[in-house]
Every structure is written in C-alpha cells, then in structure tokens.
Amino acid sequence: MHRRLATGLAGSALALATVVATATAAGAVPADKPQVLSSWTQTSASSYNTWVSARNNQSAWAAYQFDWSTDYCSSSPDNPFGFPFSTSCARHDFGYRNYKAAGTFSANKSRIDSAFYEDLKRVCNNYSGATKTSCNGTAWTYYQAVRALG
C-alpha cells in the first residue's frame, strides 16, 4: 500500500513538474526577439513592409510581447500638409518603445531615426514636382526633430 501511494505521488509530482515547465516555456519570450526587432527597424523598404505586415497581424507575434502602442507623430501632425506620415511615425514609436524596454535604446536610436527618415522619404516618393519637394522638406524637419528631441 505504501509503495502504491509513493508511486502515485511520484507520478503526480512528475505531472505537476511537466505542467509547470510547459507553462513556463509558454510564457517565455522567444530567444530571437532581438533579431526580429532589429529586422523590423532597419532603413530598407523590405524592413518597413515586413513590420507593416506584422503590425497588421499582431496576434501572430503575441509570444514576443512587443509594445505596439503608438501616439503616431506625438505633438506634430500625423499627416502634415496631407502627407500620410502616421504609419512611419507608428514604426518609429515601435522602435523607440521596444528598444527602451530591452535596455538597448541608446545603441539603436540613430538607426531607428534613420529608418524613420527613409520611411518618410518613401511616402514622398509618391509625389512629384513641387509637392515632392515640399514633402521631402517636411520629412527632413520631422527627422531633425526626432534626432534632437526623440
């Protein structure tokens, strides 16, 4: 009888340990989070497009516990003079918030700001002539603001 009780307790303890280990693993952030974050905050159009796709399907990335919150272009207009800068501002916020949470913001700030500027210029590439010139000037102003104040 004691042997059966001991066997049952050992089995229960093993089952409990398995449940706890599984729960801990399920709550753990994937080890490649820094690489994913880096890939989504580069200056290239492909980095931007990959981030937009992920942003549109945030639930697929829930295990990574990214901060997707944004105030868009903060106290500046999100669409100055009709130029749609809000998504570029959202990606910039994403980079700032997630690198700050990781404790590696200062090492990545310059690249995040440069990616922001490239994103804004890609918006401006949809225009021509004086409108494109105006857009590029506005993009430069936004970029200088985040470099100095961001």
Helix (H) or strand (E) holding 102: helix 86-102
Residue type, 148: A
Q: Is 92 a catalytic residue?
A: yes
Catalytic residue among 92, 108, 117, 146: 92
Which residues, 6 or more positions from 48, have their beta carbon under 8 angstroms from its beta carbon?
A: 91, 115, 118, 119, 122
The DSSP-derived string for 107-120 is HHHHHHHHHHHHHH
Active site residues: 92
